[in-house]
Amino acid sequence: MDTIRNPILYPVILAVPDKEQKLTGREKVANLSNHARRALEISAQKSCIELGDLTKNENGAPLPFGGNYWSLTHKPRYVGGVIAPTQIGIDIEKIRPCSKALFRKTANESEWGLSDADSFKLFFRYWTSKESVLKASGTGIRDLSKCRIVQIIDHNHLVINYEDRKWFIEHFYFDGHIASVVKNDFDVEWTIEPTTKSLPALL
């Protein structure tokens, strides 16, 4: 009997060229946005989906087209994009020191008690996970306190409870950064360019 595979999600991460990292202001924002949309194009190609109009609602949340949902993220050195036939969110952050106030804002004591991992790495694991869920739901950062980590499955996966629903998250670690994506019932094949081959999650 053939094994039934889960559908595959293709999040794509692109490096920002060095010369473009030095841009500032609106020019920098525009370039990062264009790179993120290129990542989305690659994700769509891998998913055999033809991109439609990429529009947003009055709150800036991406609107689905043809039953397909999409999400973008961009930081100074890397951008990302992903498309899926269900609510989807992706986020990237550089792992770096941050204030205790941000720790308190991002999660409560019971959430921090789920792991004794390196504090800054865990912080950005939590932050990018919650950002991904809030992007997928279209509600945004205002609901951060309602988005709770309820289970850490392993180094690459955790579970969030939000709006009376469990959201499963997968992480990808690279070059001092972490990317998180809402995986739920999907298997995930990460792609990072200019290294063009798909990469498995690092254990």
Q: Which of the four pLDDT bands, split at 50, 70 and 90, describes residue 201?
A: very low
Domain coordinates of the chain in residue numbers?
8-196
Among 83, 64, 79, smallest CA distance to 34 is for: 79
- Helix, strand, coil share (%) of the chain residues, nearest 5: 30, 30, 40
pLDDT tens-digit profile of 116-155? 887 999 999 999 999 999 999 998 888 998 999 999 999 9
Per-residue pLDDT at 193: 87
What's the whole-number average pLDDT of the chain?
Answer: 91
State pTM to two decimals. Answer: 0.91
Q: What percent of the chain has pLDDT over 90?
A: 79
Fold of 8-196: Ribosomal Protein L22; Chain A (3.90.470)
104 vs 98: CA distance, rounded Å:
11
DSSP string, 33-100: HHHHHHHHHHHHHHTT-------B-TTSPBPPBTTBEEEEEE-SSEEEEEEESS---EEEEE-----H
Could you read off the pLDDT of 20-47 as tens digits, one per residue? 888 899 999 999 999 999 999 999 999 9
